[in-house]
Structure 1
């Protein structure tokens, strides 16, 4: 199991995973009545329809950013551009959000499909995080699509998990997520310490380094102050702020499971 800072390799695996995550979410929400669309998801404070609104508005905005990149533009999104999009989606009914998500998501994926191979693969996308190549951009989008799909699935089925193929890809860029979305107060309380993440499915050990900053490294700590044991999928969701008791993640040593949940509050 590797913890890397960017999406390595070509666009293909990331694009295939984006399609799979989209199809998985569509299969869950397509037949939901309005009452269930308005019920809570596993994303804190959001209904299922609000998750679809978040993903759909992002797909609309990102399609525009992709088109900008294809045209050679390098300017990132501005609040003046994105706020009217968010407001329009916020005003939709729950069923309308579902239909609009399907349409916006399909358009976004079609444009990404058209850029695979040939000159299109050299496109740079002026994203929120900066100017990105297509694999790195698709990694950001998979992080959103895959985890938010789980937010919906898990609200309807407590046994839902993120598929193994998506988990493997998301672990490649998990350091980006962990570094950005850690709680600074909790990090200051726990640091300095090195924790061994002892993973199964697939097996591997990752170093969680807690210091002035937090990082994940694809190696074993020399002197671990504690161990976090669990499936790669469950520990991934822990870092995304989506840990649940049924995951059976075990933490021993200098930190507790409660500490790690506080360290990774989610977003």
Structure 2
């Protein structure tokens, strides 16, 4: 049986392989282009992914040894070291670091994928492999888009990654929606539950906007329906669905909430 952890790890591998092939084709000038991530160049996005991979690998190894995750005294020197690299070195070292963390997740057997608990300093309880690998996939898939969109305004998030992320957002990563969603972007006194219908692959879910932002059962009938490709849904939640990067198939029907409203609720971090 294929579990959510299995699917997440498979999507991490696909994302790594595709981004690796893309990055290997970039020259020095390409690496200094502005990326889709505000105020970062392509190389700086890769550096961020590389340092995150190094920290994530240390966190996974600590969990396997029954230890707490490394703290800020470990993380800050890692960030400083990566930030000091030249763009070409940031890109090359990203390829190595990302391969290492993906391989480490792939090496987990079935029992570890379901039972291993990983301690993270910013969560009150240890997280499952699906949760922690899912957080890595969320970051890796969106930042892969940040790299690609520097060269193609119509770039998309990979289909398999977007599909898995949609299941993760409504599952172990549901806490992230409350964290990244700006409940104060709309009138919190007026709660609205949208029906969200995504395609390729298909999902149907409810998104409640009010004093908090979170998932719920999909209303039927619904006052407002958001219809869009699954990859665009993952970009909307990640603050990456600006008008110039919105496919024409994205629609909002009904009264009370517009696509611009949703962009304000999910501005990205």
Runs of 4+ in 1 over 6 A off after TM superposition: none
Deviations 1:134-177 (A, max 9, x none): 22221111111111111111221222212221111000122423
Distance 1:258 1:200 in 2: 21
Gaps of 5+ in 2: none
* CA 1:233–1:121: 2 relative to 1, 3 Å: closer
Q: CA deviation at 1:121?
A: 5.5
Q: Give the match for residue 108 of structure 2.
A: 115
Q: Which of structures 1 and 2 has the larger relative contact order (alpha carbons within 8 angstroms, sep 6+)?
A: 1
Unaligned runs of 5+ in 1: 1-7
**Match for residue 169 of structure 1 among 151, 164, 172:** 164
CA distance in 2, matches of 1:207, 1:11: 23
Distance, in Å, in 2 between the alignment partners of 1:201 and 1:22 is: 21
Q: Shift of residue 198 of structure 1?
A: 2.7
* 1:155 match: 150
Using the alignment, how far apart are the partners of 2:229 and 2:112 within structure 1?
Answer: 39
1:233 aligns with 2:231: yes
Correspondence list, 1:87-102, <5 A: 87-102=80-95
Shift of 1:76: 3.5
Give the TM-score of the pair, scaled to structure 1: 0.89
* Match of residue 251 from structure 1: 252
How many pairs align? Answer: 258
Superposition pairs of residues 61-76 of structure 1, within 5 angstroms: 61-73=55-67, 75-76=68-69
Q: Distance in 2 between matches of 1:116 and 1:182?
A: 35
Distance 1:51 1:118 in 2: 34
Query: Which has the higher mean CA deviation after the structures are superposed, 170-179 or 196-205?
Result: 196-205
Q: Would the alpha carbon gap of residues 190 and 200 (structure 1) be closer, same or farther in structure 2, given more than 3 Å must change?
A: farther
